[in-house]
Structure 1
């Protein structure tokens, strides 16, 4: 399907509705842009004929594009698959592909089909005199073409769409005019123009852009495809070959950037990623539920989402670790302990192998077997791969002896010798099979076994910390912890290589342990990754101290580290208040600079002990438009849930948010990371800090909770505020 008209002339001869025109459509003057899109005015729906004429044409184009998209979907639905596939397997695959295509072509009623327009001076990449009436493109979430194949909406990921995000007065990128559209639901209600080719016009911030950024957020996370900023777009469109790490404070859009990067890579490298796969990893299932609609809204339905715990789920997790044990188990040194324990199962031979075939006996001496074993050990290949190679090595030695005696064995004979009972018995004795879960079980249960293989790696105190107080008798009966499951995954990879995906997005990465980074790195060992996080929001005892260290554990030392510091979500007063904690939790980190024009509201409210003051604050915020989140220390959640229900304000849990009437979510502080609400009530900051094992971790948790608000924040407290906030 063509992305460009056949020529600048043909493009210039079509209006928004596709009909020929005698002259260019009228537009409103606007100013040049710098880093943020600029304009002079917004043209809203009104009876004014001057303002309504362009708006009416744009609405007509929207209606025509919706009809064209419906026709595209109907064409796919009408495909006859009879006798197309060679067998039922191919038919099932083809049918599934057709179903996915139909879903990708869905017209979401509450989502605008396009959100912008570019009027080029001349055909992009082509010739044409500057100032000529060049082609015009409407930019949207997916490509739409008419019955003749001419584009009516261009996919935001196409190269021709890039200037919508990056063009400025200094570098208009061949664009004469950029138009943004305002919507209510799926209906077009306003437009805003920027004449990028006219440097004489004054600068101003885009009102429609601000309006979209500050629009109330009811329900799951939505895409930001209409508001991507130039610095974000550079990350989104970075190539597939390299790994990108994004350090971004609260509200800088790092999660959205990561998700849109996946969508872009699937567009630019669809065939490759269709073979190798993509994966989005989040901190918990509530977070994944919150973001799960973003990629489908962009037409991408095949991206898998998971937590790290789900990735390594080889055993049932029923236990928990104390912080000292979890820190040691998450340390990268445990990989060396596991490697030693695994290869300790390999023994050197003391007896020859004698293979009987017919009336002949073939003897492979012990010294030759030892050479084979040592060579395999020196090659540092996977334990399982070496174990599979050993019988072939022994069989080859037997075949050499057969050939010397005048026989002419072929590959079938070698395979038969490799399966000979004597060879199989020797391999089992020299290189026995090892179950990864049983290996970890023995390490955590047997102090002598652990001491032997952790010598010089772990201290005596560290070994004592990871040993189980009550050793389990079997893998099934063991009370495995989440950290134990990661160790089992590491052991499994030492035995057999973990398959690699083409691209992995790792969000809230600052909370991963080194061993968890290794587990993720195995999933993209031959692919690339997008790592997203904020060092100031690390709330685990093993939280990341530097991105370079984390990337080394991930196996991506050469990754590019980008920093986002412009805040689009959190109001200025709120982020300034939360930033009081930065010198104590992340001294070298730059605070987020809010670029929002609407300051929102912020209040620190002393309340009497008990839930009444909190309930009153929630009721007050429910009188405003948008979602409301009540964030509290985990231990206080049951009491607050009961009080809210009794007051008739029954709350949802994280991940249960919908677009219906229920707008209040009660969020345990431990699950607040990555979520956002229009209005937030933060209950008892001192309780949030006190719930953590140390003050620094508690202050980081508090920083996360303070920065979940999009429009306003009320901090309620009966106990004194933590000293760093009261200063």
Structure 2
């Protein structure tokens, strides 16, 4: 069959599918407005079906695979799309959902005449693939059709043609789904067993964030009877990044998943009992805590993020627990005594594994019930006697300690109660902050941990947790989130080479994986970068000089582009050089998103003022910014992580801007570019680029 005849046949099939989808949408009635519960449930099912059809209407499918089941099955064409759709009035599938077991063939099969297999609910199914075809459909028209495999006519040169075409497209201000171009190594992560903590080391541009989002959609499809979207949560590095990824899940037909940052989640958990300190002071605290870490022989990560500090917190919680049950008897009236042994028995046996403060409150309630029961049994009616007994009850129960997490945490650093192992400089600084109701970023994990121990989870446990940029998480942070699940189910992803905050995070994934039983974890590496051209990736790899933590360098997809440009400029002509580069790129019309990446927020402010003063329409990305708007932007390098742009201009790659300790920062900045990368430098070029 010729390409033209294949196109005509597929276009006709597409039009038939669209007519069917439109007819099904038209047949769906209005929403139910009444109070009948059964009708409400039916209405929800109908609305879910309508949403699936709306997704399919825009792009019914993106792939086709012709499969012949062995030993003697018929060859059947199967069309793969974002949402499964059955033909109107029939059980025959018009489109197979990409998450269905048989659809895994579309992602796992890479060619060859050997039998292929997929795991069905009934076991492994084996057969022959005869055709693998990719589509791009826009406005009801097939705009691109690529056969990546035809049995007996395999051509390796076209295997990645469709992928390269999609990678060559320009970028807007949102992360896109990759459902039509999921690669085999990505698909294995997406479909991995749910009851595990998956750790993903992914190089810049490997699609790790998108893979994690697709994994959420897959889990909700595969385990619909055991997992709920509202019991899933995504932890991202910033609110702006949350806005950037916000379109992926709705495009996959998934909603109601919580999306937050660790800081925002903790402050909400604590009901804003503390407020977050100015992040600019973080480095001061880091120097204090580095000294602390050296004193106790702990060299990696923050002291307050370490398991050594968690042990100190655990000791204080254990001390508090011992003081909850009074060590003396309660004697409200002569001849009536409640001894400590009875109270201890109530505390130990009646309230199970409930959180400490709930057990404390129940103990107080039990003492009050005992008090009322005994007075009634003894027929104590004298008002003066009762009033005196009630006063004794109030005094006794007040002595049973009640703490909030800020108070208990603060006790680690205050006066004679200060915990052993916390040096005086750190204790004094932390106590001063907490006394004013202020917490630093590194205080949030222990505060959240103490709150969970005291009060438990505010709602249901999480069915699944996604942690992005996890290389910047401490072991204590992950331990907090681990305690928010009854059964381990996590996707933890990041890149050790993008750990740009030297005072935070980890040096190796083993620091986080060690929190789990070995059987509960899985480790995956995504070393192939799909974002940037070969020239950009090879350039960025050289910046690091050598990978740390056992990480392998990024391997680019075979997509070639312009060489990376290095251009020297003098300080007095620097802003004009930035302006000229931006004007040249905009004049070509090739790039929808352009970013000028500066070293500091102050430098970016200066660049932004110059560009807008010259009439450019630009946006300045700042730390508390809730959204990224696309177009021309000026971004501090430390806020660029996770974002990507068609063209990137590093404002200054001189020796004053990037020293020997800044290799990861410069690496992050360069790997934001999809198609074009240029570096200006004032004076002497950074030694990171000497070669």
TM-score by length of 2: 0.82
User: How far apart in 2 are the matches of 1:543 and 1:350?
Assistant: 43
Match in the other structure for 1:635: 602
State whether residues 406 and 434 of structure 2, in contact with CA within 8 Å, keep that contact through their aligned partners in structure 1: no
Match of 1:129 among 44, 69, 72: 72
**Aligned residue in 2 for 1:703:** 667
Partners of 2:149 and 2:326 in 1: how far apart?
81
Q: Which residue of 2 aligns with 1:231?
A: 185
RMSD: 3.6
Q: Deviations over 1:559-617 (max 9, x none)?
A: 11111111111211211121123346626321011023333442112123231111211
Equivalent in 89, 109, 116 of residue 63 of structure 2: 116
Q: CA deviation at 1:542?
A: 1.8
Post-superposition shift, 1:94? 7.2
3-state SS of paired residue (2:66)? strand
Check the 8 A contact 1:100/1:301 in 2, yes or no: no
Gaps of 5+ in 1: 1-25, 27-49, 407-418
Quote the residue 1:607 is aligned against: 569
Alignment partner of 1:270: what SS?
Answer: coil
Alignment match of 2:89 (pick from 136, 148, 162)? 148
C-alpha distance 426-226 of structure 1, shift in aligned 2 (>3 A): same
SS of equivalent residue, structure 2 residue 276: coil
- Taking the TM superposition and a 5 Å limit, the aligned residue runs for 1:541-556 are 541-553=503-515
Residue 497 of structure 1: aligned partner = 456
CA distance in 2, matches of 1:247, 1:154: 31
Which residue does 2:384 correspond to in 1?
none
Query: Deviation digits for residues 532-556 of structure 1, max 9, x if unmatched?
Result: 1001111221221111212335788
Q: Say if 1:512 and 1:83 are closer, same or farther in 2 by CA, change over 3 A.
A: closer
Q: Residues 15 and 140 of structure 2 are in contact (CA less than 8 Å); yes or no, is this contact kept in structure 1?
A: no
Q: How does 1:184-583 map to 2 (within 5 A)?
A: 187-195=141-149, 197-198=151-152, 204-274=158-228, 277-313=231-267, 314=270, 315=272, 316-320=275-279, 321-323=281-283, 325-326=285-286, 327-345=302-320, 346=323, 349-354=326-331, 362-366=336-340, 368-369=342-343, 382-391=355-364, 426-430=396-400, 432-444=401-413, 446-450=414-418, 453=419, 455=420, 457-464=421-428, 466-468=430-432, 472=435, 477-498=436-457, 499-540=460-501, 541-553=503-515, 558-583=520-545
CA distance in 2, matches of 1:555, 1:478: 37
2: CA distance between counterparts of 1:688 and 1:512?
29
Residue 349 (structure 1) shift: 3.7
The offset of 1:681, in angstroms, is: 0.9
Q: Verify the 8 A CA contact 1:387 1:427 in the aligned structure 2.
A: no
Aligned to 1:625: 591
Aligned partner of residue 37 in structure 2, secondary structure? coil
* Pairing 1:40-119 to 2, within 5 Å after superposition: 50-78=2-30, 80=32, 82=34, 84-85=36-37, 91=40, 102-107=50-55, 112-119=59-66
Contact 1:669 1:688 in 2 (8 A): no
8 Å CA contact 1:343, 1:383 repeated in 2: no
How far apart, in 1, do the equivalents of 2:154 and 2:315 lie? Answer: 70
The aligned runs of 1:8-23 (5 Å cut-off) are none
Q: 1:649/1:113 Cα in 2 relative to 1: closer, same or farther (>3 Å)?
A: farther
Counterpart Cα distance in 1 of 2:546 and 2:500: 14
- CA 1:688–1:146: 2 relative to 1, 3 Å: farther
Matched-pair contact (CA < 8 Å) for 1:329–1:466: no
Other-structure match for 2:296:
none
Report how far residue 147 of structure 1 moved: 1.3
Q: Could you state the TM-score of these two structures normalised by the residue count of structure 1?
A: 0.78
Question: Equivalents in 2 of 1:214, 1:500: separation in Å?
Answer: 42
